[in-house]
Amino acid sequence: MIARVIVDVPASQTDRLFDYKIPEKWVDFVQPGMRVIVPFGPRQIQGFVVELSEGTNVDKVKPLSDVLDITPVLTNELISLGNWLTEQTLCFKISAYQVMLPAALRTKVKKELHRSVAVEKLDPFIKPLFSESACVDWAKVTEAFPTQLKKVQQLIEKGDLEVRYIVKEKGNKKTEKVISLANKEMSLSAILDQVSKRAQKQRDVLEFLYEQEGPLRTQDLLSQLKISRATLKPLLEQEILVENDNEIYRDPLMGIQHKKTEPLPLTPSQQSVITPIIAALEEKKHVPFLLHGVTGSGKTEIYLQAIQESLKTGREAIVLVPEIALTPQMVERFKGRFGSLVAVLHSGLSMGEKYDEWRKIHRGEVKVVVGARSAIFAPFKKLGIIIIDEEHETSYKQEENPRYHAREVALYRGRYHQCPVVLGSATPSLESFARAKKELYTLLPLHERVGNRPMPKVDVVDMREELRLGNRSMFSRALLEKLQERLKRNEQSVLFLNRRGYSTFVMCRDCGYVATCNHCDISFTYHRSHHALKCHYCGHEEPMPKTCQSCESEHIRFFGSGTQKVEEELTRVLPEARVIRMDVDTTRRKGAHEKLLSAFGQGEADILLGTQMIAKGLDFPKITLVGVLAADSMLHIPDFRSAERTFQLMEQVSGRAGRHDLLGEVVIQTYTPEHYSIELVTSHNYEHYFQMEMLQRKRGGYPPYFYMVLINVSHPELTTVISVTEKIAHFLKSELSEETMVLGPVVSPIARIKDRYRYQCMIKYKNEPKLTKTLRDIQQHYIRETNQGQLQISIDLNPYLFM
Ligand code: ADP
Ligand code: ZN
Ligand code: ZN
């Protein structure tokens, strides 16, 4: 028997199946989806078995060296998904498989075999292994039964045995000391006879431990009996007591109380939206839905009830939410409804915690996973529904290999499992809404908030006018006044500063004019080094203007301002206000995010000031004012989606105000109040905004009218980067069809990272049959240079990041 293996060498030459002989002893044992160790040249490396076959064309097949798994870590579905990902993103197969698994599985982990049933119930052949303890090292198992691993595997499948991978956390090993009696079979009097009658404290300890069911945390013992460690010492030395290091059960939701919640009776509009979802679920039909519901329209309740339906039919559910929306508040809603059937996956977890959650899914202990992007690969076998909340979020696209979009993976898995996929958003991505318009997705609209709560009232403040009236502060008079009102009424405000711009755009403070490239409709980026404006799409460069091109004012300058600066200003103008600042600096420490939010929720501050991390998932009844300090800062990022992101973000932050009984108000400060992405927030009119935005996209030749590919080249030497990028652009132009546009080469918005120069070129196309082949050819052509590590070429299909 032959195992066909993808090896862990991410390079083009090795991106294919290699054949290995399965040693006789493992013939029934090895299955597709297992990790193995194989000889590869002089080395031993890891790989994944993806197929078994009876024969091979290879002359000298080497045998597998080792099998790392006892049950496959990849299902058949995930194996074929890996192939698909490889085609879609032009990545290596090994990267596609690795991205589906928790990182812990990439490191060397110790395996243990635990028994899950009483020793007497075990199959006689395995019994002797467990004569001394309930768990044995996997190495011992293979030693004892080199040829009977298949039998062990069957016992695992039956549930009598269980394999645990022991993940050693680097740095903070999560263990605690536990203590117990060395011999639990002895009677209490026999135990007490071991110590002197006068050693009362020691006798107390023994009596106390005798009463316990199992080991007790040493710390608890000390505090409950009010004794010191000195009392335990002689008992441990005489081996009357034993102390062990126990792995703490790593609960990512530690400390959160889950109050069980019941399904709410749905409103008529919620009802009309959930009906087709449930119908698709019951008919086992793959239907992609776009749930377009304003903030507070009750989307989450619909997710919850749809999931419940999936569970009822014996199937599972995946819910994706953006990383920053994975707040305790959000998680709580799922845990509150489905309790311990929920696993949670997000980047705040340690490697071991992620692994724990993954293992619960793999072993079928949980039925629902709530997580960020990579949770889309949850190894469920009977998916009933996939939900992507805030589907427009760009964090669903992975910005490293494999550059997949979770939405596309969700649709793939939905087709495979024949189940509905629900994309939900108050502000769907242009791509998704356009697909809904073309009836590729079924549109489910929810136009009103639950309980007819009004949408917040939005005021757009023209900051040019403020300047004209002599107000040079970052707060408009209107915003300041409303902040003061909130302080008086003891209500809360949120101030939002978007500081995503690495780059600075150039704007006239008198008229709001922003310098843009005439060829691309994209804001220029200001380059301090040579005091010039540059377009990062086509490469066009202009000297920094001295006066505004539109009104000839001299107040033209580049922009940028940080949360810290705002906080200083805030304490100056509103000294009595208590402010919580949330940005990358104040939330770096694990748990800081949750702490700050809960402090705000408990009314410990009047104003929450932060970056986009506060835009999502925030749901506090006392927030009645949301202020956006500089709505333009995102609008002028050199990215064709900047208007889309501005509208989405403004809607999103508005949604934080007045979600409960108190009416909400929003103040948006801007230098371009007439821009449709800002103006249309006042009426919360998505449809109108969509039409405006589509017009722009059509004019500029951007998605969803055109597909895009971004090729990024980097190298320590500038001349090499330029010449390689030129060759690539030339090759693309010669290979691809007439209608396809090849833009560049042009220096990347971030021209140099870590001493590597960066250039890019872009492809825009509608229909390009030769695309994949041409891009593969480029990868292949530069393979030697890229393998040596000097040259890097990244190819990003449907890019979201143009840095
Ligand atoms: P969204 O996810 O669209 O922002 P939510 O699901 O958070 O909306 O709902 C907004 C608020 O309305 C929440 O406080 C939620 O508990 C409440 N809600 C949702 N559906 C109902 C319902 N059918 N009846 C009563 N309250 C509801
Ligand atoms: Zn340009
Ligand atoms: Zn001007």
Expressed in angstroms and rounded, the spacing between residue 672 Cα and the centre of ligand 2 is 21
- Cβ-based neighbour number of residue 547 at 10 Å: 12
Q: Which residue has the tokens 């039919």?
A: 313
Is 297 a pocket residue for ligand 1 (Cβ < 6 Å)? yes
Tokens of 567: 């906080």
Of the segments 302-311, 653-662, 716-725, which one has the largest average pLDDT value? Answer: 302-311
| Residue 72 one-letter amino acid | P
Contact criterion met (CB below 8 Å) for 7 and 49:
no
With 70 as the cut, is the pLDDT of residue 5 above it?
yes
Q: Is the pLDDT of residue 475 over 60?
A: yes
For residue 302, the ligand 1 atom closest to its alpha carbon is 6
Interval 168-194 mean pLDDT: 74
Residue closest to 746 by CA, chosen among 772, 768, 728, 731: 728
R_g of the chain, CA atoms, integer Å: 30
Q: What is the pLDDT of residues 142-159, one digit of tens each?
A: 888 888 888 888 888 888
With a CB cutoff of 8 Å and minimum separation 6, the contacts of 345 are: 354, 357, 358, 369, 370, 371, 372, 374, 375, 378
Percent of the chain with pLDDT strictly greater than 90: 46
Please tell me the distance from the alpha carbon of residue 471 to that of residue 762, in angstroms, as a whole number: 43
Q: What is the dihedral of CA 574, 576, 580, 585, to 10 degrees?
A: 60
250 by Cβ neighbours in 10 Å (0-12 / 13-18 / 19+) ranks as: middle
C-alpha 635 – ligand 3 centre gap (Å): 17
| Predicted pLDDT of residue 76 | 95
pLDDT in tens, 389-402: 999 999 999 988 89
For residue 255, the model assigns a pLDDT of 47
Peptide bond into 23 cis (omega under 30): no
Asked if the model's pLDDT at residue 509 lies above 60, the reply is yes
Query: How many Å apart are CA 99 and CA 265, to the nearest integer?
Result: 40
Say yes or no: CB of residue 501 within 6 Å of ligand 1: no
Q: Residue 506: what pLDDT?
A: 83
Q: Average of pLDDT values for 425-429?
A: 95
Q: Is 295 in the pocket of ligand 1 (CB under 6 A)?
A: yes
- Whether 11 is in the pocket of ligand 1, judged by its Cβ within 6 Å, is no
pLDDT for res 639: 86
414-418 mean pLDDT: 98
CA of 646 to the centre of ligand 3 (A): 22
Kindly give the number of the ligand 1 atom that is closest to the alpha carbon of 300. Answer: 6
Q: Name the nearest CA neighbour of 520 among 506, 534, 530.
A: 534
What span, in angstroms and rounded, lies between the C-alpha atoms of 326 and 340? 17
Pocket perturbation via mutation, ligand 1, pick of 271, 294, 300, 662 by most ligand atoms within 8 A of CB? 300
The helix/strand count (H/E) of the chain reads as: 25, 33
Q: How far apart are CA 432 and CA 422, in angstroms?
A: 11
Over residues 378-383, mean pLDDT = 96
Tokens of 404: 């997949």
CA–centroid distance, 744 to ligand 2, in Å, is 10
Distance CA 191, CA 687 (A): 78
Ligand 1 atom with the smallest distance to the CA of 267 is 23
Residue 420 CB less than 6 A away from ligand 1 = no
Separation of 745 CA from ligand 2 center, angstroms? 12
Which ligand 1 atom minimizes the distance to the CA of 266? Answer: 23
170: confidence class by pLDDT, cuts 50, 70, 90: very low
3-state helix, strand, coil in the chain (%, to 5): 35, 25, 40
- Ligand 1 atom 19: residue of nearest CA: 298
Most confidently predicted of 77-91, 149-163, 187-201, 773-787: 77-91
pLDDT tens track for 740-789 = 999 989 988 777 777 788 899 999 999 999 999 999 999 888 877 776 77
Q: For 588-623, what is each residue's pLDDT tens digit?
A: 676 777 788 888 988 999 999 987 777 666 778 888
Q: Which strands sit side by side in the sheet containing 175-181, from one edge to the other?
A: 216-217, 175-181, 241-247
Residue 796's closest CA among 722, 703, 733, 718?
A: 703
Q: Closest ligand to 557 CA?
A: 3
Residue 746 CA, ligand 2 centroid: distance in Å: 10
Domains delineated in the chain: 2-106 (3.40.1440.60), 109-167 (no CATH), 268-452 (3.40.50.300), 457-504+560-697 (3.40.50.300), 707-796 (3.30.70.600)
Q: Which residue in this structure is represented by tokens 């499948």?
A: 157
